[in-house]
């Protein structure tokens, strides 16, 4: 299969090298387009006020992998690949393997997930992969799982274009308890801005977020209490697969909000005239 691989940790990250090389060794046609430096927590940002540069890289990956380092964001990289670098669209887009988890509300900020979501926007099923450790450097179990997941997708393709957000416990494969489909949980952070003074006497601030609690969402979704969240599953040493889409419409509330709209409907807007 033709695979496009990106990330937000940059071209020199061990995670993307493990992923791309493992997939190339499995016989896939792998193209890497990723940032030339770390671009974590950039969300779905795009570069529109300056040019985007891309340079081909020859020495960091398996010789069978074609790779570009891009000056833009993770989303820029995938968009550029579709629009300029690839001769034809890939069969799948993969992003990662990220250093650190992307669970719950993390996905709103994650460059890893956003790069994969760009593939979905282009009409291609995509996978975001994260290793749930900021220090563990053994990405091979996660890379091997990505290979198995792709094999399964080939045999059992989705009926619609989706993003699978995958988090892999930072454990040897023998210690991982299994794989489970999950829903997105909630992670709450206590954001702290540390005030500092630079050598020229100017004030600056450094953001440091710390997880203060992980909400038990079983009480928040009475409609399907059996389906656990990604946060809960990771606690149990399970690989989590969470299906995502870019449509953020709150469908469950549309009908009730139509009634709520009441007095604000168009025919009453004459009251706003000066």
The answer to whether residue 228 sits within a structural domain is yes
222 pLDDT band, cuts 50/70/90, is very low
CATH code where residue 68 lies: 3.40.1210.10
Cis peptide before 97 (omega within 30 of 0): yes
Quote the number of domains for the chain.
1
- Which ranges of 64-110 would DSSP assign to H, the alpha helix? 74-80
Give the residue among 220, 212, 155, 213 at the shortest CA–CA distance from 184: 220
Q: What pTM does this model have?
A: 0.90
Instruction: Evaluate whether residue 273 is within a structural domain.
Output: no
Among the residue ranges 22-26, 119-123, 188-192, the one predicted with the least confidence is: 188-192
**Given pLDDT bands bounded at 50, 70 and 90, which one contains residue 254?**
confident
Domain that holds residue 42: 2-184+224-253
pLDDT at 220 over 50: no
Helices (H), the chain: 14-25, 74-80, 111-121, 140-155, 230-235, 254-261
Query: Is the residue at 88 inside a domain?
Result: yes
| 17 phi-psi bin (left φ>0, alpha ψ -120 to 50, beta other) | alpha
**Residue 262 covered by a domain:** no
Say yes or no to pLDDT of 20 above 80.
yes
- What is the structure's pLDDT at 33? 98
Q: What pLDDT is attached to residue 219?
A: 45
Q: Give the torsion sign (CA, 170, 175, 177, 179).
A: positive
Dihedral class, residue 70 (left if φ above 0, else alpha if ψ from -120 to 50, else beta): beta
- With respect to residue 271, please indicate whether it lies within any of the assigned structural domains: no
* Within-domain flag for 197: no
Q: Render pLDDT for 164-177 as a digit per residue (tens, 0 to 9).
A: 999 999 999 999 99
Of the chain, the percentage scoring pLDDT greater than 70 comes to 89
> Does residue 274 fall inside a structural domain?
no
Instruction: Report percent pLDDT > 90 for the chain.
Output: 74
Domain contains 210: no
Confidence band of 197 (pLDDT split at 50, 70, 90): very high
């Amino acid at each position: 299969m033709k695979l496009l691989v990106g990330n937000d940790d940059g071209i020199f990250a061990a995670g993307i090298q493990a992923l791309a090389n493992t997939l190339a060794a499995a016989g896939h046609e792998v193209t890497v387009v990723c940032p030339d430096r770390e671009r974590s927590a950039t969300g779905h940002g795009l570069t529109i006020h300056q040019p985007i540069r891309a340079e081909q890289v020859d020495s960091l990956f398996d010789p069978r992998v074609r790779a570009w380092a891009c000056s833009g964001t993770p989303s820029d990289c995938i968009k550029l690949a579709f629009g300029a670098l690839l001769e034809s669209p890939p069969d799948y887009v993969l992003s990662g393997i990220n250093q650190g988890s992307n669970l719950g509300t993390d996905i709103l900020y994650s460059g890893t997930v956003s790069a994969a979501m760009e593939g979905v926007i282009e009409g291609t099923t995509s996978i975001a992969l994260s290793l749930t450790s900021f220090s563990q450097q053994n990405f091979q179990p996660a890379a091997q799982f990505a290979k198995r997941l792709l094999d399964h997708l080939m045999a059992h393709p989705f009926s619609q274009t989706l993003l699978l957000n995958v988090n892999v416990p930072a454990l040897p494969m023998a210690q991982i308890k299994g794989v489970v489909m999950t829903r997105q949980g909630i992670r709450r952070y206590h954001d702290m801005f540390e005030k500092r003074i630079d050598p020229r006497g100017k004030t600056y601030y450094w953001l440091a977020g710390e997880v203060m609690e992980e909400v038990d969402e079983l009480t928040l979704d009475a409609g399907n209490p059996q389906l656990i969240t990604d946060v809960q599953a990771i606690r149990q040493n399970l690989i989590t697969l969470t299906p995502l889409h870019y449509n953020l419409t709150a469908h469950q509330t549309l009908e009730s909000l139509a009634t709520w709209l009441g007095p604000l409907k168009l025919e009453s807007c004459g009251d706003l005239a000066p």
